[in-house]
Amino acid sequence: MTAANVAEGLAAARAEVERVCGLLVSASPEFLDGCPGLLQRACSVIGEFRPWMSEARGDGAAFEEAHRLQSAVRQAARLLESALDYHARWNRILGAMTGGYTERGDPAPVIRQGRVYLTG
């Protein structure tokens, strides 16, 4: 395995993570469900050439590609965080709207009764 192979592998992993970023921008439950598969694939791609990575030590192209991958991973993390923040805040508002506030002044938890909800 050459340094060029390592750089290619990292680029392939980045492509998967960038697809995750694309899905996270939509942030619907269906799209979010598609992300773990892509993320696992990115992990597997890196895992495949991990044993030979030390042979590419000091290679500028591979090092730059690793940084680009890190940047993509961090962007995915921030997008996931911002979607989570959106729903967490909305969940609190829903709680306050439907259940009021607790004794400590926090919004009450949203009460979800057991029910089947079908969409079609």
Partner 1 sequence: MSNLLATLGSSAGALQAFDQVLQVTQNNVANASTPGYAKQRLSLDAQPFDLTVGATGGVRAGQIQSARDQYAEQAVRRQTTALGEAQQNAGSFTSLESLFDISGQSGIPKALNTLFQSFSAWAQSPTDTIARQTVIDRATSLANAFQQTAAALAGAKQDTEQQLQGTVDQVNALVARLQGYNSQTLRGTRNDPALDAQVNATLEQLSQYVDFTARQQADGSVTVLLNGQTPLLIADRQYQIAYRLAIPDTPTYAGRPSAQIVASDGSDVTSQTTGGQLGALLDVRNRVLPSYIGDAYQPGDLNTMAKQFAGRVNQLLTPLDNSSGTPVETGVALFTYDITNDTNVARTLAVDPSVAAGQLTAADPGPPLVSNGIPLALSAMSAATKGADQIDGGSYNQYFGKMASRIGSALNEARDQQQVRQSAVAQAKNLRQQASGVSLDAEATILIQFQRAYEANSRLITVLDQITQDAINILRP
Query: Is 69 a residue that touches partner 1 (CB under 8 A)?
Result: yes
CA proximity to 74, closest of 12, 35, 17: 17
Query: Is 12 a residue that touches partner 1 (CB under 8 A)?
Result: no
Measured in whole angstroms, the distance separating CA 110 from the mean position of its chain's CA atoms is 26
Query: Which 8-state DSSP code applies to residue 110?
Result: P
Residue of the chain from 2, 4, 93, 101 that contacts partner 1 (CB under 8 A):
93
For partner 1, what does the binding mask look like between residues 22 and 41, x meaning CB under 8 A?
A: --xxxxxx--xx-xx--xx-
Angle between helices 3-26 and 60-99 (to 10 degrees): 20
Cα–Cα distances (Å) from 5 to 37, 39, 45, 73, 91, in that order, read: 23, 20, 11, 20, 46
Q: Which is nearer to partner 1, 15 or 27 (CB)?
A: 27
- Tell me the residue type at 77: A
| Residues of this chain that bind partner 1 (CB under 8 A) | 6, 10, 17, 20-21, 24-29, 32-33, 35-36, 39-40, 42-43, 46-47, 50, 53-54, 56-60, 62-63, 66-67, 69-71, 73-80, 82-84, 86-87, 89-91, 93-94, 98, 110, 112, 115, 117, 119
